[in-house]
């Protein structure tokens, strides 16, 4: 049906646009039509069910085609139509009409699929809607299973209520999953755009563009009910985005001016998603949030999905040429407004969290109101507002034949004008009221950049560049209120001979700022964050980058390019957090016309990314109230609390992680005119392999009470180790001057090795059969190995 609709629309649009063109062409000479039509069929064998094979495309079994048409008349009227992958999930239509030199009107329709998982499994009904429902019988049965009587014997014959009921729940869940609903988790973006461009108003070009995008489908999202409980549900996606752009561009003599306005309105047609708790049919409140699991808590959960929002922007760009020193002054000013005013949902949907119910706080503390009643919120709507502004000023000058210089100044502000809201507490995973007062922190930032660049031509073929930039970042409600980064760079560009081209650059920067680790935790007595940690996007940093690229032209028809990029970020003042981040990339690329009939290319790239981070497992003590003998503040806690006892950097509970990813990508191909203008043959191959590792280390302490890492950490050797291979071959046989027969073959192989995939089940259990509290949909990556054979015909006219 979708194919019929598309083709009908395509034909209609084309005819509608063509008719007026023809009618106007009657007074002039006849128009000309050129174009091509390709139609073909594919046969596909292999594992098409992997989400990766058709992630953003469709490789269909059966017939599909492309159409290109151009029609123009001698009075400069034109119309162009370009339809790709007709009838497929990734089809695209582009129709453009107008008069050369006067105006153009363009219509675009584009579909993009995005597959997250095919043949996923779920117990929920109502996929694609905001209400995911389980059978009451299932909920009742599992709730009763999980409240098995105390004193039952576990698998080892000892009294162990928890283990016993976990095993029973696991067995029942596994049975249910065997008969679960099978669903495809995927969404489709359908974009429609209309663009008008008018170039006939003197020195002003006008553009008006409207875009609409509909996104519809499902994607997997986590929906936990507390610690030790992980549930995956299909998040309903039903978005509408409308965008309008208006622009005018003026150019006269030395003046260039561009004015633009942009409005983007996002609407989420599903405000919330509610899902049943598989393990509970009745609401209850958990006495302790940290042990809340399927045995207690809410009968359903609720995510407040992405709120509707609006963004408007106005921009003005001006440029003046013929300024002093052969200069050009450019200025851009822009102002933007982001707004979001969705109504809030209640603290929870759990009807057991009522006035006087127990909380997750101090014993005896009670819930102050019915948390499921929206009337008890301090505010009903978000009323969130952000103002953005940009000022960019640059002066590019050419004071002498050998010298270019550029001065830059830029300020970008993101000002969050949303009022702070104080909440008396919150519900943790819909299970329990936590009487912890929290206040929202609408953070803002301002980034100022000032710089000066020089390029000096030291000879006809060589130039040297020098640059200095000062980046200043100012933030509110974050750990670093102000930081400065000084960036120095030098570059050398030289073409000492026609056969040699060299480009190299080096950059060194140093970022410093005062790190205040208490800022994000305003009002709390004890920090929740390890005070030694430095967040890497704010931390002091030394950065070095070197790039070198050279191209050799051994002959007119041979280009050989080598490239090296190395870089290192050193977070030199960070005792904990990300300490170091390095990368090195090497590439070699050859492009050669071997003979007049044979073109050949090959490339190889090795990337190596390595980072080192450090952390500590610790538990907090409160120096205001706790002593060394306070329960919860002794033993392991005592030794690891950086605020209380272990106030230094060293602790046996420290650990480090060295993350490494080595990626090799290579490929090549050739194009052969087997029989010139009759038979062409193309062959291409691409290979990419990533080898990831996570190496863990921790100093082992002698005292189990102070060392949380008494078990030697075992590193991960298979971390997203992925190999992809693609082989494509194509024969183009010219039957007649304008008619070609195209035969194709493609082989794709995708192989993934990751620790997540070892022994994967949608309901993982321990070696004893105990349930791990997890109910997944099987959305992990899957291997595939697919062969595609295609045959088609292309007619040009």
Partner 1 sequence: MSGKKSGTALMLSMVLGFLVVIALNHAAWAAPNKDFSESIVRAETVDGQMAGFFKSMVSFFQSVFAPQSAVIAQGEAENSSGYVGAETCKTCHEDKYESYINQAMGNKLNPDTPAAQHECESCHGPGVAHVEAGGGRGVGGIINPGVKSSLPVKEKNAVCLNCHSTGKRALWHGSMHQSKGLSCTNCHSTHSGNPKNLAKPTQPETCGQCHKQIKAQIQKQSHHPIKEGKVNCSDCHNPHGTVTEKLITANSINEKCYECHTEKRGPFLWEHPPATENCLTCHTPHGSSQNKLLVSKPPFLCQSCHSNSRHPGSLYGLNTTTDGSSEYVVLSSRIYYRACLNCHAQFHGSNHPSGKSFLR
- Residues of this chain, 410-469, that bind partner 1 according to CB under 8 A: 410, 412, 414, 416-418, 421, 423, 426-430, 438, 440-443, 445, 453, 455, 460, 463, 465
Q: Which is nearer to partner 1, 146 or 340 (CB)?
A: 340
Q: Residue 22: what are its φ and ψ, rounded to 5°?
A: -65, -40
Which of residues 39, 565, 598, 793 is near partner 1 by CB under 8 A? 565
Size of the site for partner 1 (CB under 8 A): 210
Binders of partner 1 in range 756-785 (CB under 8 A): 756, 764, 766-768, 770, 772-774, 776, 780-781
Strands (E), 401-523: 403-416, 422-423, 426-428, 432-434, 438-439, 445-457, 462-475, 480-497, 500-515
Contact with partner 1 (CB under 8 A): which of 589, 599, 682, 785? 589
Task: Name the residue nearer to partner 1 (CB basis): 386 or 746.
Answer: 386
Q: Which stretch binds partner 1 (CB under 8 A): 129-137, 165-173, 274-282, 310-318?
A: 310-318
> Which one of 11, 45, 102, 595 is in contact with partner 1 (CB under 8 A)?
102
CB closer to partner 1, 121 vs 478: 478
Residue 312 interacts with partner 1 (CB under 8 A): yes or no: yes
Of residues 69 through 88, those in contact with partner 1 by CB under 8 A are: 72, 74-78
For position 303 contacting partner 1 by CB under 8 A, the verdict is yes
In the bound state with partner 1, the residue whose beta carbon lies nearer, of 135 and 772, is: 772
CA atoms within 13 A on the CB side of 582: 11
Question: Where in 613-672 is the site for partner 1 (CB under 8 A)?
Answer: 613, 615-620, 655, 657, 659, 661, 663, 665
Contact between residue 239 and residue 232 where contact means Cβ atoms under 8 Å apart: no
First and final CA of the chain: distance in angstroms? 30
Instruction: Name residues contacting partner 1, limited to 182-221 (CB under 8 A).
Output: 198-205, 221
| Binding flag, residue 274, partner 1 (CB under 8 A) | no
Residues in a beta bridge with 63: 41
- In whole angstroms, the minimum distance from the beta carbon of 586 to partner 1 comes to 9
Residue nearer to partner 1 on the CB measure, 143 or 501: 501
Closer CB to partner 1, 141 or 580, in the complex: 580
Query: Between residues 135 and 451, which has the closer beta carbon with respect to partner 1?
Result: 451
Q: Applying CB under 8 A, which part among 173-181, 329-337, 675-683, 738-746 lies near partner 1?
A: 329-337
- Rule CB under 8 A: choose which of 87, 139, 299, 690 binds partner 1: 690
Alpha-carbon torsion (372, 376, 380, 385), positive or negative: negative
Rounded to a whole number of angstroms, the minimum distance from the CB of residue 104 to partner 1 is 10
Q: Yes or no: say if 642 and 650 are a contact pair by the CB < 8 Å rule.
A: no
The residues facing 320 across adjacent strands are 255, 329
Least distance in angstroms from the C-beta of 743 to partner 1:
20
Q: Are 574 and 613 in contact (CB under 8 A)?
A: no
**Farthest CA pair distance, the chain:** 100
Residues between 507 and 536 that touch partner 1 (CB under 8 A):
528-530, 533, 535-536
Comparing CB distances to partner 1, the nearer of 135 and 449 is: 449
Contacts (CB under 8 A) with partner 1, residues 330-389: 330, 332, 334-342, 344-348, 377, 382, 384-388
Q: Which CB atom, from 135 or from 315, has the smaller least distance to partner 1?
A: 315
Give, in order, the Cα–Cα distances in Å from 405 to each of 450, 452, 602: 14, 7, 38
C-beta of 134 vs 289, nearer to partner 1: 289
Closest contact distance (angstroms) between CB of 536 and partner 1 is 6
- The distance of closest approach from Cβ of residue 675 to partner 1 in the complex, given in angstroms and rounded to an integer, is 19
Residue choice 715, 735, 738, 739 for contact with partner 1 (CB under 8 A): 715
Whole-angstrom distance, CA of residue 505 vs CA of residue 547? 5
Report the C-alpha gap between 527 and 517 in whole angstroms.
8
- Binders of partner 1 among residues 728 to 747 (CB under 8 A) are none
Asked if 488 interacts with partner 1 (CB under 8 A), we say no
For residues 473 and 482, give the distance between their C-alpha atoms in angstroms, rounded to a whole number: 6
Q: Binders of partner 1 among 128-147, rule CB under 8 A?
A: none
Q: Is 166 helix (H, G, I), strand (E, B) or coil?
A: helix
**Which listed range, 124-132, 240-248, 277-285, 736-744, lies at the site for partner 1 (CB under 8 A)?**
240-248
710 lies in the binding site for partner 1 (CB under 8 A): no
Chosen residue from 179, 711, 736, 737 binding partner 1 by CB under 8 A: 711
Length of the chain: 797
d(CA 139, CA 159): 26
165 is a contact residue toward partner 1 (CB under 8 A): no
* Cβ nearer to partner 1, comparing 174 with 408: 408
The minimum distance between CB 634 and partner 1, in angstroms, equals 15
**Gap between the Cα atoms of 493 and 524, Å rounded:** 55
Is residue 252 involved in binding partner 1 (CB under 8 A)?
yes
Cα–Cα dist 34/24, whole Å? 19
Q: Is 176 helix (H, G, I), strand (E, B) or coil?
A: helix
Smallest separation (angstroms) from partner 1 to the CB of 733? 20
DSSP string, 375-436: GGSS-SB--EEEEEEEEEEEEEEEEETTEEEEEEEEEEEEEE-PPP-EES-EEETTTEEE--
Instruction: State the CB neighbour count (10 A cutoff) for residue 571.
Output: 23
Note whether 795 binds partner 1 by CB under 8 A.
no
Can you tell me which residue has the tokens 């803002």? 444
Please check whether residue 312 is in contact with residue 262, taking contact to mean a CB–CB distance below 8 angstroms: yes
On whether the CB atoms of residues 330 and 317 are closer than 8 A, the answer is: yes
Characterize 395-414 residue by residue with b for buried, 16 or more Cβ atoms within 10 angstroms of its Cβ, and e for exposed: bbbeeeeeebbbebebbebb
Scanning 37-45, 131-139, 165-173, 682-690 for contacts with partner 1 by CB under 8 A, the matching segment is: 682-690
Q: What is the DSSP string of 249-316?
A: EEEETTEEEEEEEEEEEEEES--EEEEE-TT-SS----S-TTT-STTSS-SEEEEEPPPPEEEEEEEE
Is residue 772 within 8 A of residue 228, CB to CB? The reply is: yes
Q: How far is the CB of 789 from partner 1 (least distance, A)?
A: 20
Nearer to partner 1, 176 or 770 (CB): 770
Q: Does 561 bind partner 1 (CB under 8 A)?
A: yes
d(CA 766, CA 100): 70
User: Residues 286, 578, 633, 645: which binds partner 1 (CB under 8 A)?
Assistant: 578
Residue 117 phi, psi (nearest 5) = -165, 135
Nearer to partner 1, 135 or 417 (CB): 417
Specify burial of residue 502 (Cβ count, 10 A radius: 0-12, 13-18, 19+): middle
What is the CA angle 218-221-223, rounded to 5? 130
Q: How far apart are CA 336 and CA 310, in angstroms?
A: 10
Short-list 730, 755, 734, CA closest to 743: 730
Helix (H, G, I), strand (E, B) or coil at 43: strand
Closest CB 493 distance from partner 1, rounded Å:
4
CB of 140 to partner 1, least distance (A): 25
- Output 148 or 438, the one with its CB closest to partner 1: 438
**Smallest distance, partner 1 to C-beta of residue 33, A:** 14
Residue 284 or 644: the one with the smaller Cβ distance to partner 1 is: 644
Q: Does 585 bind partner 1 (CB under 8 A)?
A: yes
Rounded CA-CA distance 790/217 in Å is 30
* Nearer residue to partner 1 within complex by CB, 477 or 543: 477
Does position 266 interact with partner 1 (CB under 8 A)? The reply is yes
- Alpha helices, DSSP H, located in 654-761: none
- Residue in the block written with tokens 């075992």: 714
Of residues 1 and 677, the one with the C-beta less far from partner 1? 677
């Amino acid at each position: 049906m979708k194919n019929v609709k598309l083709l009908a629309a395509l034909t209609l649009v084309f005819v509608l646009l063509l008719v007026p063109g023809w009618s106007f062409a009657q007074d002039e000479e006849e128009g000309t039509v050129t174009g091509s039509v390709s139609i073909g069929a594919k046969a596909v064998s292999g594992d098409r069910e992997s989400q990766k094979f058709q992630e953003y495309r469709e490789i269909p079994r059966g017939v599909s085609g492309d159409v290109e048409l151009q029609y123009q008349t001698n009075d400069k009227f034109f119309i162009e139509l370009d339809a790709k992958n007709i009838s497929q999930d990734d089809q695209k239509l582009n129709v453009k009409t107008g008069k050369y030199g006067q105006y153009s009107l363009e219509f675009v329709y584009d579909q993009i699929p995005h597959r997250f998982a095919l043949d996923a499994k779920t117990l929920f009904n109502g996929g694609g809607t905001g209400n995911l429902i389980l059978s009451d019988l299932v909920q009742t049965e599992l709730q009763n299973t999980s409240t098995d009587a105390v004193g039952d014997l576990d698998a080892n014959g000892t009294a162990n209520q928890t283990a016993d009921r976990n095993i029973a729940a696991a067995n029942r869940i596994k049975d249910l999953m065997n008969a679960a609903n099978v669903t495809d988790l995927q969404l489709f973006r359908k974009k429609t755009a209309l663009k008008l461009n008018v170039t006939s108003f003197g020195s002003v070009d006008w553009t008006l563009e409207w875009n609409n995008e509909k996104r519809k489908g499902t994607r997997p999202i986590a929906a936990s009910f507390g610690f030790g409980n992980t549930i995956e549900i299909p998040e309903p996606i039903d978005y509408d985005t409308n965008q309008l752009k208006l622009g005018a561009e003026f150019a006269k003599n030395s003046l260039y001016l561009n004015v633009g306005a942009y409005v983007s309105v996002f609407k989420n047609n599903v405000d919330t998603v509610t899902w049943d708790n598989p393990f509970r049919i009745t609401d209850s409140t958990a006495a302790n949030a940290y042990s809340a699991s399927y045995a207690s808590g809410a009968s359903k959960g609720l995510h407040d999905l992405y709120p509707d929002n609006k963004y408007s922007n106005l921009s003005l760009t001006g440029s003046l040429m013929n300024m002093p020193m052969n200069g050009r002054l450019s200025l851009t000013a822009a102002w933007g407004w982001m707004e979001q005013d969705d109504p809030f949902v209640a603290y929870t949907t759990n009807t057991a969290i009522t006035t006087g119910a127990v909380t997750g706080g101090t014993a005896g503390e009670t819930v102050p109101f019915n948390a499921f009643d929206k009337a008890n919120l301090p505010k009903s709507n978000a009323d969130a507002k952000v103002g953005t502004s940009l000022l960019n000023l640059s002066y590019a000058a050419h004071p002498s034949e050998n010298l270019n210089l550029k001065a830059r100044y830029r300020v970008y502000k993101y000002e969050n004008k949303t009022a702070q809201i104080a909440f008396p507490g919150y519900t943790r995973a819909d299970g329990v009221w936590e009487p912890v007062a929290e206040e929202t922190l609408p953070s803002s930032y301002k980034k100022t950049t000032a710089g000066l660049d020089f390029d000096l031509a030291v000879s006809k073929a060589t130039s040297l560049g020098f640059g200095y930039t000062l980046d200043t970042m100012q933030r509110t409600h974050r750990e670093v209120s102000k930081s400065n980064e000084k960036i120095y760079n030098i570059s050398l560009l030289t073409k000492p001979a026609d056969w040699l081209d060299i480009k190299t650059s080096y950059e060194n920067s140093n970022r410093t700022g005062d790190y205040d680790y208490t800022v994000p935790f305003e009002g709390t007595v004890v920090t929740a964050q390890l005070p030694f940690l430095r967040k890497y996007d704010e931390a002091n940093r030394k950065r070095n980058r070197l790039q070198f690229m050279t191209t050799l032209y051994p002959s007119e028809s041979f280009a050989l390019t080598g490239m090296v990029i190395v870089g290192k970020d050193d977070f030199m003042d960070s005792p904990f957090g990300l300490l170091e981040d390095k990368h090195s990339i090497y590439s070699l690329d050859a492009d050669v016309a071997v003979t007049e009939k044979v073109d050949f290319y090959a490339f190889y790239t090795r990337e190596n990314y390595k980072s080192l981070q450090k952390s500590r497992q610790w538990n907090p003590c409160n120096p205001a109230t706790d002593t060394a003998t306070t329960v919860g503040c002794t033993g392991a806690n005592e030794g690891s609390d950086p605020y209380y006892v272990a106030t230094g950097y060293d602790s046996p509970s420290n650990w480090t992680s060295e993350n490494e990813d080595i990626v090799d990508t290579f490929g090549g191909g050739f194009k052969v005119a087997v029989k010139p203008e009759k038979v062409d043959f193309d062959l291409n191959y691409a290979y990419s392999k990533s080898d990831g590792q996570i190496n863990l280390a921790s100093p082992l302490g002698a005292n189990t009470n102070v060392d949380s890492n008494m078990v030697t950490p075992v590193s991960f050797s298979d971390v997203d180790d992925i190999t992809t291979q693609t082989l494509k071959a194509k024969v183009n046989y010219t039957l007649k001057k304008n008619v070609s027969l195209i035969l194709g073959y493609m082989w794709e192989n995708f192989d993934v090795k990751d620790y997540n995939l070892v022994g994967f089940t949608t309901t993982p259990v321990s070696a004893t059969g105990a349930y791990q509290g997890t109910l997944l949909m099987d959305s992990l990556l899957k291997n595939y190995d697919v062969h595609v054979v295609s045959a088609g015909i292309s007619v040009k006219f």
